[in-house]
Every structure is written in C-alpha cells, then in structure tokens.
C-alpha cells in the first residue's frame, strides 16, 4: 500500500516518490511510499529535504523520453536542497543543520536522502531554500546558453522562446546583468506578465509574421543568438529572426516535434543549429569549473538578484497531484515538492 492511501503514515514517516514503470501518464505511475531508515556508513550523510522542483526533464524521465534513464524501480527527482541531519561514523562533511545542494540524479523526491558527504555542496543557510532548490538545472542552463555559443557585447540582442519558463526567466536576468538585451517570445498572452516581472522589456507572442514584428520592435537589430526550447515550426520562426551567420541553440522540444529549419535559413542565411544538454556539460567540465559556476549562481540567488516564479508547492505525500500539475499547460512558475 502506498503512502498516498496509507492511514498509518504520519509526518514522522519518511517517504520516497517511487515509480516502477514508464509511460505516457506519469502521475499514475508514481507514488509516495514509506521506507525504513538505514544506518549510515562511514562517509555518508543523512539530509532532510527542504525543497525539490519538478522539471520537464523529470517528466520526460517518467515517460521514458529523456536521453538518460535510471534503472527501474527508481526514485524521482534530479535536483533539490536539504539540511544535514546526521553524519555517518568518522565522517567529515557539512555541519549538522547546514543547507546543502543535493547531488544531481540521486533521486531527490524523498523526505530524507542518504548521500556521500563529500558530494554535498554547502549553500547559504540564510537564502530561500525554495529558490536554492532550482540551482542545479535551470540557472546553469541559462548561464551556459548565454556564455558558451556566441560572445555577445553589451547592447546586443538575443532572442528566445518560452521566455516565461524557468530557464527563460533566468536568462532574462543574467543577460540584463551583462548589458545584453532580450527579445522574449511566449506562446500566450497570459505569459507576458511573468517575463516582464523578470525584467524582460520586449515580449512578443509567437506565431506568423514573427520576423517582421521582431525587426520592427528592435529597429532592425542584427540578432546573432537564438535560443529554442520548443522545436517544430517554432524553431524556424526563431531562425527567421536571426542575422546572417547567426547561431540557433535548441535545448528542448516542448512541442514534441523535431526542429524544423528552412533551407533558406541554412543555405542563404548561413545559420548554425546546435544542441545543448546540461548533462553533457557536467560530464566534460572539471569539478573546479562546476564549483565556480555554482558559486556564482548561488551568490546571485542568495542576494535575491536571480530568482524565478513558483506556481505551487506540494507535500511529498501529494506527489501524484504535483506531477499532474507540473505536466499541465498554461502554468506560470515552477512546481516544487517539500517534505
């Protein structure tokens, strides 16, 4: 019997959100299940969950469509933050009570997580744990998309779609700090406010005639970098907005369709289409490079200059409702889990 319907489960019972199969209806496949605490070994730490987000990649992992899938059965969740509550024997690690970043891919949708103490990254205790919980995926994705493909000068524009997403709102804020302007494309009128709240002054709705509307809004500025999270025909609409020799980077397929780019963009406008996957960057970057990026981003989150909207927080026991909400459309802000 799962914790979703277990009358004996109470607030002191640790829970894990476990799935034993993958399929098109992830909310039906995952359940909050009680588990017994195991004794810690040397080098281990027990961490109480403070907050963990539900990302699109988490949903794709549940459906089986993500590029890297854990063996089944599996605990959901790839990122989050917690508080150290116990250290194993002869273990040097973050102090008890310290807020820490959980290791990527450890299965963070659990009220308590056992991890190697050496892999826990201390974070500012005074910072908002809800905002810190999203540090591992979206902020570094935004920072690397901005930094690693085209070197933009202050005053230049970049263009992105799904600008109201977590990555999109972080990108707006990071670009503004660098003096870079953003053309922000959204798919509905109701998403405009979230982008403007994040500091995006120029927000347009995706659709026919996008290139003409972008030229008019920017005064014909040459845009050398486009960032696409949708795929399908939306990719080509972004491509049509770029200057000759521009670069278009795709990091997601929210449409469920492969990227479409016209021969005109490739042949006559000499565009380059590239892909970005954060897991690949982590596989190539040194520990020092990762620590440097995380340190910079954590500092910005701690001082409040980098943040994103939170649509709703759910208790772990309500994992089915949380996953369903994360997969629903027309939502402004992230869905979070707390213990």
User: Any idea which residues carry the catalytic annotation?
Assistant: 66
Residue spans of beta strands (DSSP E) within the chain: 15-19, 30-34, 44-54, 74-75, 81-87, 99-101, 112-116, 121-122, 157-161, 181-186, 202-205, 225-228, 247-250, 272-275, 310-315, 334-338
User: Do 223 and 207 form a contact (C-beta atoms < 8 A)?
Assistant: no
Residue 264: name the closest of 240, 235, 233, 242 by CA: 240
Burial call 85-109: b when 16+ CB within 10 Å, e when fewer: ebbbeebebbeeebbbbbbbbbbbb
* Distance (Å, whole) CA 134 – CA 68: 20
What backbone torsions phi and psi does residue 138 show, to the nearest 5 degrees? -70, -45
Residues in the chain: 339
What backbone torsions phi and psi does residue 43 show, to the nearest 5 degrees? 90, -5
Token pair 């994040």 is at which residue?
A: 198
- Tokens encoding 261: 């780019």
- C-alpha neighbours within 13 Å on the C-beta side of residue 11: 1
User: What letter does residue 268 receive in the DSSP assignment?
Assistant: I
* Distance (Å, whole) CA 144 – CA 280: 12
For residue 6, count CB atoms less than 10 angstroms from its CB and return exposed for 0-12, middle for 13-18, buried for 19 or more: middle
What backbone torsions phi and psi does residue 153 show, to the nearest 5 degrees? -90, 155
* Distance (Å, whole) CA 140 – CA 304: 16
User: Do 189 and 164 form a contact (C-beta atoms < 8 A)?
Assistant: no
């Amino acid at each position: 019997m799962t914790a979703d319907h277990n009358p004996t489960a109470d607030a002191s019972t640790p829970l894990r959100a476990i799935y034993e199969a993958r399929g098109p209806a992830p909310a039906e496949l995952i359940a909050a299940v009680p588990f017994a605490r195991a004794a810690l070994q040397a080098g281990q730490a027990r961490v109480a969950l403070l907050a963990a987000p539900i990302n699109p990649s988490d949903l794709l992992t549940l459906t089986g469509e993500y590029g890297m899938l854990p063996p089944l059965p599996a605990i959901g969740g790839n990122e989050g933050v917690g508080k150290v509550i116990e250290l194993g024997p002869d273990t040097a690690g973050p102090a008890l009570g310290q807020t820490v970043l959980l290791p990527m891919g450890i299965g963070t949708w659990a009220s308590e997580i056992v991890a190697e103490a050496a892999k826990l990254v201390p974070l500012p205790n005074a910072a908002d744990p809800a905002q810190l919980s999203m540090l591992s995926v979206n902020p570094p994705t935004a920072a690397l998309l901005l930094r690693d493909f085209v070197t933009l000068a202050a005053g230049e524009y970049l263009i992105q779609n799904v600008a109201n997403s977590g990555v999109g709102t972080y990108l707006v804020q990071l670009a503004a700090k660098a003096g870079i302007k953003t053309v922000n494309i959204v798919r509905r009128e109701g998403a405009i406010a979230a982008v403007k709240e994040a500091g995006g002054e120029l927000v347009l709705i995706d659709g026919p005639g996008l290139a003409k509307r972008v030229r008019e809004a920017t005064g014909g500025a040459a845009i050398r970098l486009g960032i696409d999270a949708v795929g399908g025909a939306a990719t080509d609409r972004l491509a049509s907005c770029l200057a000759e020799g521009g670069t278009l980077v795709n990091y997601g397929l929210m449409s469920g369709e492969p990227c479409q780019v016209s021969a005109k963009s490739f042949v006559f406008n000499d565009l380059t289409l590239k892909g970005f996957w954060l897991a690949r960057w982590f596989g190539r970057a040194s520990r020092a490079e990762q620590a440097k990026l995380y340190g910079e981003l954590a500092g910005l989150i701690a001082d409040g200059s980098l943040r994103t909207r939170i649509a709703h927080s759910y208790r772990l026991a309500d994992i089915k409702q949380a996953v369903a909400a994360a997969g629903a459309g027309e939502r402004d802000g992230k869905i979070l889990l707390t213990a």
